[in-house]
Amino acid sequence: MVSFEANFLARQYIEETSMRWPLLVDEKRDLYGAYSMLNGSFWDIWGLKTWIAYFKELRKGHKPKESKGDVMQLGGDVLIDPNGIIRLHHVGMGPADRPTVNSILGIIRN
Do 6 and 30 fall within a single domain? yes
pLDDT at 56 over 80: yes
Do 94 and 58 fall within a single domain? yes
Residue 82 confidence (pLDDT)? 92
Do 22 and 66 fall within a single domain? no
Residue ranges making up the domain that contains 110: 39-110
Do 56 and 9 fall within a single domain? no
Do 61 and 13 fall within a single domain? no
Do 24 and 43 fall within a single domain? no
Whether the model pTM is above 0.85: no
Do 50 and 16 fall within a single domain? no
Residue 70 confidence (pLDDT)? 84
Mean pLDDT of 36-62: 89
pLDDT at 64 over 80: no
Do 73 and 94 fall within a single domain? yes
Contacts 24+ apart (CB under 8 A), 72-80: 72/39, 72/40, 72/45, 73/4, 73/29, 73/32, 73/37, 73/39, 73/40, 74/32, 74/37, 74/38, 74/39, 74/40, 74/44, 75/37, 76/35, 76/37, 77/104, 78/35, 79/104, 79/107, 79/108
Contacts 24+ apart (CB under 8 A), 28-36: 29/4, 29/73, 31/2, 32/2, 32/4, 32/73, 32/74, 35/76, 35/78, 35/89, 35/91, 36/91
- pLDDT tier for residue 79 given thresholds of 50, 70 and 90: very high
Do 27 and 69 fall within a single domain? no
Do 107 and 63 fall within a single domain? yes
Number of domains the chain contains = 2
pLDDT at 89 over 90: yes
Do 6 and 47 fall within a single domain? no
Do 21 and 75 fall within a single domain? no
Residue 12 confidence (pLDDT)? 85
Mean pLDDT of 53-68: 84
pLDDT at 33 over 80: yes
